[in-house]
Amino acid sequence: MGHSNARQSAVSSVNAWKADGHPPVVEKPMTEYYGCNVFSDKVMQERLPDKVYKALCETIRKGAPLDPTVADSVAEAMKEWAIEKGATHYTHWFQPMTGLTAEKHDSFLAPNFGGPAVLEFSGGELVRGEPDASSFPSGGIRATFEARGYTAWDPTSPAFILENPNGTTLCIPTAFCSWTGEALDKKTPLLRSIEALSKQAVRVLKLFGSTSTTVSTTAGPEQEYFLIDKAFYHARPDLINAGRTLFGSKPPKGQEMEDHYFGAIPDRVLSCMLETEQELYKLGVPVKTRHNEVAPAQYEVAPIFENANIATDHNMLVMETMKRVADRYGLKLLLHEKPFAGVNGSGKHLNWSMSDDQGNNLLKPGNNPHDNAQFLVFLAAVISAVSKHGDLLRMAVATPANDHRLGANEAPPAIISIFLGDMLQDIVEQIEAGGAKSTKAGGTMTIGVTAMPTLPRDAGDRNRTSPFAFTGNKFEFRAVGSSQSIAGPQVVLNTIVAEALDNIATTLEAGMKAGKDLNSEIQALLPKIIAESKKVIFNGNGYSAEWHAEAAKRGLPNVPNAVDSIPDLISPKAVALFGKYGVLSERELHSRYEILLENYVKTINIEAGLTSEIATRQILPASLRYQTEVAQSVAALKGAGVAVPASQSGLLADLTATIDGLKSAIDKLDHASEHHAEGDTLTHAKYYRDTIIPAMNAVREAADKLEGIVADDLWPLPTYQEMLFIK
């Protein structure tokens, strides 16, 4: 009869893919186009009147309020620059709590009754936008009368041009707030947390004689992702609608040969990467490294670190640009944390540090006793912060998608611990012991007197199993999910470290007032901090069962799923912390709590619907067809008077039983989905976790078993083997 199903057409179209038709690559040297689509400092200096430029710099560096005439002048220059670049429209580009970016385009065109076209863009339009945008999640903040939000220009992140073959758009990074001043986005709390940390870090630096007036946080997110052929993607309703496969048995060949990691990048993928990078360079995004990751069809891109706000905007641009360009190469970008069960998932290692206003990295050990002392104080602050608020860091990565990844074999467990490495561990232990013990390198450690031994920075000392690792001059938070905005994790990190620095500064300042010596004050304070916090330090294998037992003994929280972690966002401890540093009010925290839980419920609900639909309309029919074929062949044997071998009647029986299992699992899932749990969002989320997910898993189990039995030519969904290995 020869059915041609979506899967078979997909396989043929992958084979037919040709490299022509995509836009030609830029042939100029990179230095000629790097940043060409950015309204950068250099462009501003060239195009703005001197006075305006200086005023704007004050705003950018110190947050000084912006004069409306300055805004007008900047808007005029920005408009002219954008129009020269072919822009017809501008948009306030913002990051609502969907975790994505949003834009609403307005034309520069102004009414000019009957006359020629006039293009306008005022300071007012630059500084504030009113996208309305009342359909974004607000977690109840905008439920009623104050339904509108407005966008406010963030002059600390440069405007840029987004290109399209048919025109370009000026994008202005903005914050998104309600009229009552509440943050409706990811950028606003990030900016507040950066400021909170800066304020406390400056107090500490001052004790060391620094004249820095601001401290910035720095971020370098290593982004993992999958690329698969578009034809396969389109034949998988689960990938299209849920971003991950809800069915698929493990292929005979997975990643066990480890032949993909750092392997040669396939040509089509490399072309796609090159074009992505060119686009990103034009936007001034400093992507630096690219390589194959552990799983087949998995890759990674990492930028050179930048200040946290810009790094966050840039990571959003990286994700969007990769998605856009992949399409031109017949590829689909998968940013989901676990697109394929049983295969490595994708994360985003968030490299994080702090830097003074001369660009000195505050987590760099330094090479003299004074710098070492300062380093140890900042290090102790981070250790103390993570020890006290590990629950919040865990919460910052709590999504239904990340639940598939955390604690699975290739990703850090849900237990937040810190890896320091042997040398630093040794130093910390000595400090706790009051400098009495001798170091591994020989001698004893006296703060402000002894220089620390040089810490190794080689990869050998890196513990890949730790969720939060010190890697020589920065921390690396490895539990962040690949599709997540890095804003949330940084908000937590910045705020908890601000609190720890605040406590340290308060103690040390009091000592200074009482005329004591700074180094001996530090020598007295650090052992206390370490004694209090050392339970969070763990240098061993984070994947091991022993660590789970040990962590429980140490009283470290181990919250393996998002639903149990999200409520930590509104604990009294969290409300006090975020309130004290002006990062998120109680109302703002509650809105985020609601949004996270709603997102959990919606995600699982969509997955459950897809599971039922695909199982009912694709897998069951294919299985029944095969059942008919087998039944017919058994009947034919009987008709010919041939004894039916047990293996063949057994196949029919097995098939029939598995199909029956599938159908009853679908019925059970449908029944569970129709049930409406009474209660608040948390109750709903728990219902989805405890009842719907197991029901989905039962459907998948039967379906994946059928994939191993049903004839290949009848199977409707592209298999793991095809999606991961046909490139």
User: Which of 35, 129, 149, 220 forms a contact with ligand ADP (CB under 6 A)?
Assistant: 220
Least distance from ligand ADP to the Cβ atom of residue 255, Å: 20
CA 78, CA 173: separation in Å to the nearest integer?
Answer: 13
Partner whose footprint covers residue 474, from ligand ADP, Mg ion, none (CB < 5 to 8 Å by kind): ligand ADP
Partner whose footprint covers residue 158, from ligand ADP, Mg ion, none (CB < 5 to 8 Å by kind): none
Site string for ligand ADP, 302-341 (x = CB under 6 A): xxxx------------------------------------
- Contact between 721 and ligand ADP by CB under 6 A: the answer reads no
Ranges of H-type helices in 420-537:
422-432, 487-513, 518-533
Closest to ligand ADP by CB, 233 vs 305, is: 305
Backbone angles phi, psi at 270, to 5 degrees: -65, -40
- Contact between 351 and ligand ADP by CB under 6 A: the answer reads yes
How much helix, strand and coil, in percent to the nearest 5, is found in the chain? 50, 15, 35
Are the C-beta atoms of 159 and 94 separated by less than 8 Å?
A: no
CA 674, CA 94: separation in Å to the nearest integer?
Answer: 36
With CB atoms as reference, the residue minimizing the distance to ligand ADP is 220
Closest to ligand ADP by CB, 79 vs 349, is: 349
Least distance from ligand ADP to the Cβ atom of residue 459, Å: 6
Least distance from ligand ADP to the Cβ atom of residue 205, Å: 16
Partner whose footprint covers residue 391, from ligand ADP, Mg ion, none (CB < 5 to 8 Å by kind): none
How many residues form the binding site for Mg ion (CB under 5 A)? Answer: 1
Closest to Mg ion by CB, 349 vs 394, is: 349
CA 467, CA 543: separation in Å to the nearest integer?
Answer: 10
Residue 268 burial (C-beta neighbours within 10 Å; 0-12, 13-18, 19+):
middle
Closest to Mg ion by CB, 351 vs 485, is: 351
Site string for ligand ADP, 164-203 (x = CB under 6 A): ----------------------------------------
CA distances from 471 to 307, 422, 467, 468 (A): 18, 12, 12, 9
Are the C-beta atoms of 73 and 48 separated by less than 8 Å?
A: yes
Least distance from ligand ADP to the Cβ atom of residue 212, Å: 16
- Contact between 474 and Mg ion by CB under 5 A: the answer reads no
Partner whose footprint covers residue 695, from ligand ADP, Mg ion, none (CB < 5 to 8 Å by kind): none
Partner whose footprint covers residue 352, from Mg ion, ligand ADP, none (CB < 5 to 8 Å by kind): ligand ADP
Are the C-beta atoms of 299 and 146 separated by less than 8 Å?
A: no
Residues 152, 158, 163, 166: is their CA dihedral positive or negative?
positive
Separation of first and last alpha carbons in the chain: 29
Are the C-beta atoms of 159 and 201 separated by less than 8 Å?
A: no
Site string for Mg ion, 331-360 (x = CB under 5 A): ------------------x-----------
Query: Count of residues for the chain?
Result: 727
Query: Which residues sit opposite 110 in a β-bridge?
Result: 118
How many residues form the binding site for ligand ADP (CB under 6 A)? Answer: 15
Are the C-beta atoms of 533 and 379 separated by less than 8 Å?
A: no
Closest to Mg ion by CB, 293 vs 722, is: 293
User: Strand 468-470 to strand 418-419: parallel, antiparallel, or no bridges (unpaired)?
Assistant: parallel
Q: Which of 164, 143, 157 is nearest to 191 (CA)?
A: 157
CA distances from 15 to 110, 527, 720 (A): 50, 64, 17
Closest to Mg ion by CB, 472 vs 579, is: 472
Q: Which segment (349-357, 572-580, 634-642, 672-680) binds ligand ADP by CB under 6 A?
A: 349-357
Q: Which of 615, 608, 567 is nearest to 691 (CA)?
A: 608
Least distance from ligand ADP to the Cβ atom of residue 308, Å: 9
Give buried/exposed letters for 592-630 (b at 16+ CB in 10 A, else e): bbbbbbbbbbebbeebbbbbbebbbebbbebbbebbeeb
- Contact between 218 and ligand ADP by CB under 6 A: the answer reads yes
Partner whose footprint covers residue 419, from Mg ion, ligand ADP, none (CB < 5 to 8 Å by kind): none
Show contacts with ligand ADP in window 461-480 (CB under 6 A).
471, 473-474
Residue 674, C-beta contacts closer than 8 angstroms, at least 6 positions apart:
none
Least distance from ligand ADP to the Cβ atom of residue 668, Å: 45
Least distance from ligand ADP to the Cβ atom of residue 157, Å: 17
- Contact between 352 and ligand ADP by CB under 6 A: the answer reads yes
Least distance from ligand ADP to the Cβ atom of residue 93, Å: 23
Least distance from ligand ADP to the Cβ atom of residue 305, Å: 3
- Contact between 455 and ligand ADP by CB under 6 A: the answer reads no
Partner whose footprint covers residue 592, from ligand ADP, Mg ion, none (CB < 5 to 8 Å by kind): none
Least distance from ligand ADP to the Cβ atom of residue 300, Å: 9
CA distances from 166 to 87, 284, 323, 368 (A): 10, 22, 19, 57
Closest to ligand ADP by CB, 189 vs 303, is: 303
Least distance from Mg ion to the Cβ atom of residue 665, Å: 41
CA 533, CA 291: separation in Å to the nearest integer?
Answer: 37
With CB atoms as reference, the residue minimizing the distance to Mg ion is 349
Closest to ligand ADP by CB, 418 vs 569, is: 418
**Run of H or E residues at 30:** helix 30-33
Partner whose footprint covers residue 539, from ligand ADP, Mg ion, none (CB < 5 to 8 Å by kind): none
- Contact between 365 and ligand ADP by CB under 6 A: the answer reads no
User: Which of 95, 255, 312, 353 forms a contact with ligand ADP (CB under 6 A)?
Assistant: 353
CA distances from 557 to 65, 106, 263, 573 (A): 43, 48, 38, 15
Least distance from ligand ADP to the Cβ atom of residue 217, Å: 8
Least distance from ligand ADP to the Cβ atom of residue 473, Å: 6
Partner whose footprint covers residue 305, from ligand ADP, Mg ion, none (CB < 5 to 8 Å by kind): ligand ADP
Residue 99, C-beta contacts closer than 8 angstroms, at least 6 positions apart:
186, 483, 484, 485
Residues 335, 338, 341, 342: is their CA dihedral positive or negative?
positive
Amino acid, single-letter form, for residue 553? K
User: Which of 76, 125, 154, 222 forms a contact with ligand ADP (CB under 6 A)?
Assistant: 222
Q: Which segment (84-92, 102-110, 301-309, 593-601) binds ligand ADP by CB under 6 A?
A: 301-309
Partner whose footprint covers residue 59, from ligand ADP, Mg ion, none (CB < 5 to 8 Å by kind): none
**Helix or strand or coil: residue 358?**
coil
Closest to ligand ADP by CB, 418 vs 601, is: 418
Least distance from ligand ADP to the Cβ atom of residue 476, Å: 6
Identify the DSSP state of 689. I
Interface positions with Mg ion (CB under 5 A) = 349
Interface positions with ligand ADP (CB under 6 A) = 218-220, 222, 302-305, 351-353, 361, 471, 473-474
